[in-house]
Structure formats: C-alpha cells, structure tokens
Structure 1
C-alpha cells in the first residue's frame, strides 16, 4: 500500500466495533440501537466507510444472546456475529473478535453500555493523526463502589510497582489499526492479558479520556473472584518480580533468624524465663514453613504457565458466524 492509499484509508476507514458478550440478552437491544445510530451518524458525516459494522462475539452464553445477534444479522444491517463453541473467558473472546473481524480499524468495548460511545469520533481523529493504537482511559471512578475503586486503583499501582507496563485506569476500550492487529496476531501467548500485551507492540499511541456510566441492564459478569484471577494472571504473565521477591524474602528470613537466635540466647543467659527448646524450634519452624509454602506456590504458578503454554492448545474455536460482512445470510 503506497502513501496515498494509506492516507485515503485513514481519512475514510472501514470501522469495526468488537464487543464480547456473555449472557447479555437484557442489554443487547439497547446496545444495538445505540451502536447502529452512532454508525449511521458517522457514515452520514463521512467519518467512516459505508461497510463499517458491529461484531458481537458470543462467549458461550446460556441465555438468548446468540439468538438476538443472529436475528439482528438476518435483518441485513450492520450487525455481525461470531459464536464461540464454548465459554473461553473475556480475554479470549475479545482476541477472537480482533483476529476475526475485518476492517481497517477495530474498536473493542463492552456490551453493557458503560463505555462512552461518544468518544469514538475522537478516537478516530487520533487515528487519522497517525496513532496506531488509541487507549480510552477513565477520567474518574466516582461511580464505583468503594471496594471496587480501592481494588482497581491499588492494582494499577501494584502492577507498576512490579515493573510491568500498564496504562492507569485503562481496561479494554481501545482502537487498533490493521497494522497493530496484524502485529498482535504474531503473539502466541496462552495466558492473555491484553491491556498489557498490546503495550508490547510499540507503534504510536495516544489516549482519550471518558467517564464510565452505570451498567444499563443486567448484572456484571466480572465478580470479585474473576477480577482477582485476571489481576494475578496479568502480574504473573508480564513480570518475574514475584520470583525476585522470594530472594528478598529469603534474605529477610535469614536476617530474622539471626535476630531471633540472638534474642533466644539473651533470654537463656540473662533470665530464668526461657523454656528449653521453645524459642529455637517452634518460632523458626512456623515462620520458615510459611515462607516455604508461599515460595512453592509462586514457583508453582509460573511452572503451571510453562506447562500449559507447552501444550499449545487453541485459545478459542469459532462455531458460527453471521452477518453480511462475513458473507453469511
């Protein structure tokens, strides 16, 4: 593609909106109506090409989510669907959409209408100015519960402390050019944490701020347990700092053992309060036992990732696609 063709693509790109879905039947009608209205406005104003579309990725939903997607696709509009053979988790479903959906530019976002749709034109403006990746960043978290806000902000800070690169208050609302997407395709990681992985691509990036709204309908599909699991996966996938902490813990334990030995010796020599063998056996045994179990757990987590990665199993299987952009129905 020569320079003139690249400039033309950036001026009038084919846009794809990629939305992973899991049991979203309650919110999907409103989401579809708003996204279709947005695409119609942008097509009319000449911001995007006429064949821009919406790509829902059904991550093994148990409700009527896929039936709704299929019905919208049959109407011949902008909606297309990708159905996974079973539930593979948000990150794998999102990757499937990014790797499957056509388009010059893809924007990933959630289906619950918490992501502000009105910043999409601003994201495209940044793309036209040369950015290959545009991150949507939350400007504030005043609508989150205290626990969720505290956990999220602490996690971003802890992630940075661990030496891994991540954008503060950015989740998975972002724009990626076709060039960035094809580079992402070269990564073959089994344990996905896209918000950190995409930063490894390089290229020119920019950010756009937005205020996250309340969920329109339904309940969150990301309870605390899944949030903690994703957080731990991100840390263990992008930094070996926990392993280095074990070395530090070993040094600290050694120093503590010396101090404890000095204290036990002082009690034995200068007082009559010492119980023979207690201080020198019981305290070090429990302390060292706890440190060893923690160390084994961290080693085991990294070893498990190596084991699972060595099997090279597919991250997802596409069962069905629908919509005119796929040439289906």
Structure 2
C-alpha cells in the first residue's frame, strides 16, 4: 500500500480548523481500514503565520489525533510558499502528496480516485472544478480572462484547477530544483512535463468563516503567473511602441503638408485625447517592465522562501 500525505496550508482558520482536522482524520482512518493507503499516511497542516488561535488549536489537535501533524512558518509567507513548505517537509516520508485547502472546499471524497490514477502510473493528478457556482460574476469573468491571457502567452495551466492535486515523490523531488522566489505552482508543475490526468469534483461551501484569499491576493497571483512564464508582454510593448512611432511619423508628415498649404493646422485641440491615451499606454508599459525588474531584484537576493518556526510530529 502507498503512504499518502495530505498537505493543508492554513491562515487564520480558527473557525474551521477543528472541524476540518476531525473530518480529515476520520477520512484517513477510513482509507486505511479499506487498505487504500498505509497506516503511516498523515495529514500535515501548515500554519502560514496566522495571527489568531489557529496554531494553538493545531497543537491540541495533533496531541490527540494520531494521523495529524503540523508545521508553523515564521511569518506569513503566502499560500504558495506554505504549500511548498509542507510538500518539502513530507516528501521523504511518503510515496505521494495531496495538497488541498484547510477549509475543505476541495471535495475529499475524490481522493481515492486520485490515488487510483497515481497507481496507474500518473505522476501528477489535478483536481478540476466541475462548476464555479459559488463565485460572483466578476470572479468568473476575471478568471476566464486570466486563462485566456495565459493561453495567448503560451503558458500551460490546467483550467479550473485550484491547487488541489496529487504529486508523486518523484515529481516533488523535481519541483525542489526550481528555485523561483515568485512561486506560481499552477504554472510550474504543468511545465515540468510529467505524465498527468485530471479528476473532476464539486466544490463544497466553506464550513465556517470567509475566504482569506482576497481580491488583492488573487490579482497578485495572476500577475505572478503572467510574468513568471513568458516575456511576451515585453515583446508586446516593443511592437506597440513601434506601431505608435510609425503613426506619429505619419501624423508629422500630415501636419507639415497642411501647414505649408494652409498656414495653420486645424484640430489640434483634439490632440488632448491621444495624449492621454499614449500617456496611459506609457504608464502601463512602465508597470509591466517594473514587474519584471522587481522579479529580477527579488530573485537576485536569493533569500529563503520560508523559515519553519515550529514542528509537531509523531
């Protein structure tokens, strides 16, 4: 039987962590009893610098539940780094790792299907949402726009996948070689080229509380994804610059012709709009270039992506 570890990043989840942990332990016991996984399988919660009682609750839960363990990061490092920290911590103790959110919106009932596909030889199994019923119109539209843009940029990502996946220890060992500080695992893992398949699931409502993934964090994640895997935005800026340069040459020739024929150049009051347009494009271009320069700056410092502060392990 295979040893499977679940990795669950959590940030300020005091309202759900106890119910989630109990459900997870009961589920793991059931899988062990059915001989789907080995008795050495565990669930590892990763506390991402929570400032509520999440860690205190995890300490108590790990003391009383044999299938649970936990690590706490020194400070808030972000969802992607917390997930990576958990995977790196457990990779040598198991055959495969399944990552999912601590609020259990990811349907754990499909985990046996994940394991079945892994046993068939797939190194990565992606959980894909059947629908996005719980999302508002803005989130759906912006999500579709993001997937469309990533496809245009030539970045391979799995549509409607939200970090609910199984990875073999072989795939995780390969992932360890990727040294980016600006992590976008939804792009990195497909780019590694390992064999994969997908499993559909119905996203569940949160047990309690609200999502800690704010609009600002979603925008940051999208920006990281777009700028981490392609230089096409820079190419686009170059071609835009060339296009507007040629337009300006044509307009200059036109202005000179009109001036020498009529002695005045009509319509210059209407130039305010083009000035605003070009000014906006220039600022946008500077912003895109700034994103890339910022990434270079962060990567050049070679600072650790996370530090582990505390560990509870049996």
Counterpart for residue 312 of structure 1: 302
Structure 1 window deviating more from structure 2 (71-80 vs 50-59): it is 71-80
Distance 1:108 1:216 in 2: 18
- Select which of 30, 40, 49 maps to 1:41: 30
In the alignment, is the contact (CA less than 8 A) between 1:153 and 1:169 conserved in 2?
no
Counterpart for residue 125 of structure 1: 116
In the alignment, is the contact (CA less than 8 A) between 1:139 and 1:209 conserved in 2?
yes
Distance 1:265 1:284 in 2: 19
**CA deviation map 1:131-187 (0-9, x unaligned):** 010000111112211111111121111111111111111110000011111111111
Counterpart for residue 64 of structure 2: 75
- The alpha-carbon deviation at position 86 of structure 1 amounts to 0.7
Distance 2:130 2:263 in 1: 63
In the alignment, is the contact (CA less than 8 A) between 1:190 and 1:308 conserved in 2?
yes
- The alpha-carbon deviation at position 276 of structure 1 amounts to 8.9
- The residue matched to 1:36 in structure 2 has which SS? helix
Change (3 A) 1:284 1:139: closer
- The alpha-carbon deviation at position 269 of structure 1 amounts to 6.7
Distance 2:98 2:235 in 1: 37
- The residue matched to 1:112 in structure 2 has which SS? coil
- The alpha-carbon deviation at position 259 of structure 1 amounts to 4.5
Distance 1:136 1:270 in 2: 69
Q: Runs of 5+ in structure 2 lacking a partner?
A: none
* TM-score in terms of structure 1 length: 0.89
The answer as to 2:79 corresponding to 1:90 is yes
Counterpart for residue 54 of structure 2: 65
RMSD: 2.1
Q: Runs of 5+ in structure 1 lacking a partner?
A: 1-11, 325-329
How many aligned positions are there? 312
Distance 1:111 1:127 in 2: 22
- Select which of 208, 224, 230 maps to 2:221: 230
- Select which of 94, 98, 109 maps to 2:100: 109
- Superposition pairs of residues 1-329 of structure 1, within 5 angstroms: 12-101=1-90, 102-261=93-252, 264=255, 268=259, 274=265, 286-324=276-314
- The residue matched to 2:132 in structure 1 has which SS? coil
Distance 1:227 1:301 in 2: 16
Counterpart for residue 327 of structure 1: none
Distance 2:182 2:79 in 1: 12
In the alignment, is the contact (CA less than 8 A) between 1:76 and 1:323 conserved in 2?
no
- The alpha-carbon deviation at position 274 of structure 1 amounts to 3.7
- The alpha-carbon deviation at position 63 of structure 1 amounts to 0.8
- The alpha-carbon deviation at position 19 of structure 1 amounts to 0.3
Distance 2:311 2:180 in 1: 24
Change (3 A) 1:38 1:252: same
**CA deviation map 1:97-135 (0-9, x unaligned):** 010023111100001121011110000000000001000
* TM-score in terms of structure 2 length: 0.93
Change (3 A) 1:269 1:217: farther
Distance 1:256 1:216 in 2: 57
- The alpha-carbon deviation at position 254 of structure 1 amounts to 2.1
